[in-house]
Amino acid sequence: MAQVANQNQPSKTLTDQMRALFKGVLEPVASFFNHIGILPNTMTLIGLAGHTLGAFFLFQGKMLIGGLILFALAPIDALDGTMARLRGEPSSFGAFVDSVTDRYSELIIFLALIIFYAQQSEWLNCIVVYMAASGSVMVSYVRSRAESLGYEAKVGILTRMERYFVLIPAFILNIPMIGLWIVAVMANVTAIQRIIHVRRQARTKILKDN
């Protein structure tokens, strides 16, 4: 029974841990933006616009500038949720908007890179970027689908924040393909980890019901 309980307890992702670690920094900044009238969803959309700007530079092959823009945008991922909590109005729709814009933010980065490498006729690199994009989407989709069915899937070695920890330094150091290869492999491994995790919960539930 203890094993079943442990399997059903939500795991903490690196994002959760970083938000807890930097709570003392995030809350004053979030309070300031709330005070000047910026809404949490507006902050989310600012993040999407910033990713689009970063993608524009990556599309041009300006990896350093694109990487620095993405690095500067990193705190926004945590700010919108903190702002909503401090306002006393965290909502399911706000979480939905945040999740959807996160996916668009990642995909626009990968799209820019595919176009850049396609222009150079570097087709292997295009395939690697596609694998990184599909793996990143599947990591999020597996969790979302699992949670809609009552399972927990916050496991795996390369969630969204870890992917950014890999990609941003790779862009800044102008070694994008090293970062993309890591994400292409490990994001898909993470998706498989989550599938296996959900499968174990499903089997445990069947045994418990029987």
Residues 98-155 have pLDDT tens digits of 889 999 999 999 999 999 999 999 999 999 999 999 999 999 999 999 999 999 999 9
Share of the chain above pLDDT 90, in %: 60
Question: Residue 97: what pLDDT?
Answer: 83
**Nearest-angstrom CA–CA distance, 39 and 23:** 19
Domains of the chain are 2-209 (1.20.120.1760)
pTM as predicted = 0.85
Q: Residue 4 pLDDT more than 60?
A: no
**Nearest-angstrom CA–CA distance, 50 and 191:** 27
Task: Please say whether the beta carbons of 62 and 43 come within 8 A.
Answer: no
Q: Confidence band (pLDDT; 50, 70, 90) for 6?
A: very low
Q: Residue 175, Cβ neighbours under 10 Å: how many?
A: 12
Q: Residue 11 pLDDT more than 70?
A: no
Q: Which two tokens stand for residue 29?
A: 């900044």
**Nearest-angstrom CA–CA distance, 204 and 210:** 10
Compute the average pLDDT of residues 37-55: 91
Residues 153-200 have pLDDT tens digits of 999 999 888 999 999 999 999 999 999 999 999 999 999 999 999 999
- Averaged pLDDT of the chain: 87
